[in-house]
Chain A
């Protein structure tokens, strides 16, 4: 078991700190269990002839990757972006536009996805991270709206109607778009993102971000420039989210400006909060809940969004640590 307390200094009594550490451990254990369950899911579901649900879970995993990248910003950095969906779109459109020019080489596409998102994150982050609080919320929203309207305006790439992607990404002889393998590729990426997050939050870098979130003055006073580290975090998160967009493009063979609207960004925040801010499992739990509500409630009533909205309000009002927080007993 990981232990945050040096052995010789471990107090006999369980302090609040130790309770927190235990919650974090449960979160990590739960992450492994969840990943194992996800790995078994396609086999189990296809045994019951429920391939449809495999696709739902696959979509949830892609959303979870995007949400995890936002969780990194919100949970560690306290940076509430209402424009994170822009990166989903950038990933999708970078893939789709290359495919539109008959470039289906996955390596080139991936490089374009990561390069474009890194550049966009760097430029917008340099401006946005100079602002705080609600101004940060609004400026990230503004940048996302700029990309959103750009893609609506570019008729040659589908404009409002979205862009159909005719070729999936080819990595040598490997076709990323193949449904049976795509699931496991996405799962692998999700595992790396989740465990990467678990590691990052215990690293120097994670400590710095958490400290800057808690007390920026203190961080500068000891000699760190919070801005620089936040920018690094912003770029990493943007690239990760764009990767989700890349995977989604291969899954749906379609990308629309709607994937970048502020509604999508708000949904990503929803997933993060419902799952549990700053937890490892939060994003995947949140994404599963989000899609399961959509699919199950959507089957029962076309008015499921109403109950969804109420659920959201209730979660924010009463379960401030999200579902994972409820289960592991940690505090935010």
Chain B
């Protein structure tokens, strides 16, 4: 099976802090791969390097076999990558619809036309409604300002935007951060629907959700991969218990 994502010997330094240490990973197409690790382990730093927002000091990132290490973010998105952010990253003073349409335009390869009106384009509005429907949000939310949404709604919208245009590789950074238990369960169900359809790299602290969803997991501690395996293997891995689960318990 071909790899959707391959990481070779990635290293990142923040001054003296070695935030990513020789990380190598291989994620086959269609896998839901979770990355777990304690706070400050370097999960977000890793995702940002995969997506191109941070430049690694050394190492390579390959997507679909293509070396993207030196490609800028927007080109990686053009190659079918998408990410969600741990800290909600939406355009707060635009409407929900405008945020979704922005992603729609990008995914369709529109180069931003000068004249076509987006607000009167029924087709775009419908597509935006569908994107919301996919994450179980009513299209009546489209005209609302993002800053008026609840935190849970913003997390959902963040996911909806990541899903726009059927990306082939989705990087999700703690989609459940700050959600209540009910909302978390809903999010878990949504993520479960993605399984098999697309490749997902999921960073998440909610262990219940992670072990339920993941095909395989990578455990990151202090920037280093300490274990890789199926949920069962990870549960029973001594080093993981010591280094990570033990700390948590």
Give A residues with C-beta under 8 Å from B: 2-6, 8-11, 15-18, 199-200, 202-205, 207-208, 210-211, 214-215, 217-225, 229
Contacts and interface: CB of A to CB of B under 8 A. Distances in A.
B114 A203 contact: yes
Contacts of B117: 199, 202-203
A223 B118 contact: no
A96 B140 CA distance: 57
5 contacts: A2-B119, A6-B122, A17-B144, A204-B114, A220-B73
A210 B92 CA distance: 11
A215 B91 contact: yes
B140 A9 contact: yes
Contacts of A210: 91, 94, 98
Contact of B142 (A5, A205, A219, A220): A5
B125 interface: yes
Contacts of A217: 53, 85, 89
Nearest to B142: A9
A276 B200 CA distance: 45
A229 B106 CA distance: 13
Contacts of B102: 207-208, 211, 218-219, 222, 224
A248 B77 CA distance: 45
Contacts of B129: 6, 9
Given A3-B120, A221-B51, 4 more contacts: A16-B145, A17-B145, A214-B93, A225-B74
A173 B113 CA distance: 36
A203 B115 contact: yes
A286 B95 CA distance: 28
A18 B148 CA distance: 13
Contact of B92 (A3, A4, A17, A215): A215
A221 B73 contact: yes
A207 B116 contact: no
A216 to B, nearest CB: 10
A192 B77 CA distance: 36
B105 interface: yes
Given A203-B114, A208-B102, A223-B78, A218 B143 contact: no
Contacts of A229: 112
Interface in B120-143: 120, 122, 125-126, 129, 139-140, 142-143
Contacts of A202: 117-120
A220 B52 CA distance: 10
A4 B73 CA distance: 31
A202 B115 CA distance: 8
Contact of B144 (A6, A15, A219, A221): A15
Interface string B41-85: 000000000010100000000000000000011100110001101
B5 interface: no
B227 to A, nearest CB: 30
Contact of B105 (A204, A214, A221, A225): A204
Given A17-B95, A222-B103, A4 B119 contact: yes
Contacts of B89: 215, 217-218, 221
A2 B77 CA distance: 33
B73 A208 contact: no
B82 A5 contact: no
Contacts of A15: 143-145, 148
Contacts of A207: 94, 98, 101-102, 105, 112, 118
Given A6-B122, A204-B105, A214-B93, A17 B143 contact: yes
Contacts of A5: 142-143
B161 interface: yes
A214 B116 contact: no
B106 A211 contact: no
B61 to A, nearest CB: 16
Given A199-B117, A211-B98, A220-B74, A9 B139 contact: yes
